[in-house]
Structure 1
Amino acid sequence: MRSGILLYGPPAAGKDTVTTALAALDGRYVPFRRLKVGSGKSSGYRMGTAAQLAGLEAYGDVVYRNERYGNIYVVDRPGLDRAFEGGAVPVIHLGQVTGVEQVAALSGARWVRVLLWCSRTSTAERSQRRGDTDTAARLAAWDATREDLHSYPQAMWEVRVDTDVATPQEASQQIDAFVRSAAPQS
């Protein structure tokens, strides 16, 4: 059975950094590049058009979509199929629990649900340090993430990592250990 990782957390919790550490630990871990319709940062995304999005929607190939920072972000079925090729373990970054639920509900894959957390202060400091021009919007997203978490049971998270305490390498080792222990034995 195919396996994947769903990284959930507020802005600047370390999703990119932990994904990089996972890939360094084991080359099977690959970042899933969501389709992004809009402007701004393109690194880490597959930039798309409104027409492409409409086509995916028409064929029922949108697994999850959300709007934030004036853009649309999409987890799509064709993109996921490509991400699993060659036995890869895609790592998907999500900022909404509903996204985690919708992707985890896909049949044919075992998804490990990971909560990466950091303090609001850390989000502000990390956002400014990396040069974000929309730190206020990222703090509003941090607030929304915290509210989002209160609506769901903590048991939905198989791995929880506080990135204010754990290094990216420690986080990746903890996630990798869980993925390996949860893998079906052949």
Structure 2
Amino acid sequence: MATSTRTEEFVEHVLNEWGGLVYRLALSQTRSPHDADDVAQDVFLRLLHDATPFKDEEHLKAWLIRVTVNRCKELRRSAWKRRVDTMDETSPALANLEAPVQELVADEVWEAVRRLPDHLRLVVHLHYLEGYPVADVARLIGCNPNTVRTRLHRARKKLKLDLEKEAKHGTNAPESLPIAHEQC
């Protein structure tokens, strides 16, 4: 087993300061409270054993976001995830979430965001929920700022159409216009 390169106090500070961000981002990307728990745990275990010297809190926060996004991608690509059906998204684990996260998850806009393709959902989450400017989102996900702007535009357009469709029909719109997946 690898030895820890960080102090327990440091990891506890990071958990208290940025644990919510890591969990919300993981929940946004995985759409599962169980997977989000696993991803968040993995991220903090990686932090515990990682030797990256952080220049400041922003550098640490960016590292956490990058590792969370990468871990979510790894999970999606895993053989286990491809072969196993996930539990219903109305899992009882949602009842154990913090109140602000419960409100977010219960919101109809959040439901529409959850239906976005991964690449659109990620930029929406980082820009609107975490408050990162476009340039920072681009840096965090390794894309051109114009790509981020395009994704945000497409996400807003898709969300508008989905929410209008829901309002018109009075139901959730599980299927909506397909959007091509872009690579960075």
Fold agreement, TM-score > 0.5 = no
Normalised by the size of structure 2, how large is the TM-score? 0.30
Report which structure shows greater RCO (CA 8 Å, sep ≥6).
1
Larger helix percent: 2
Larger Rg: 2
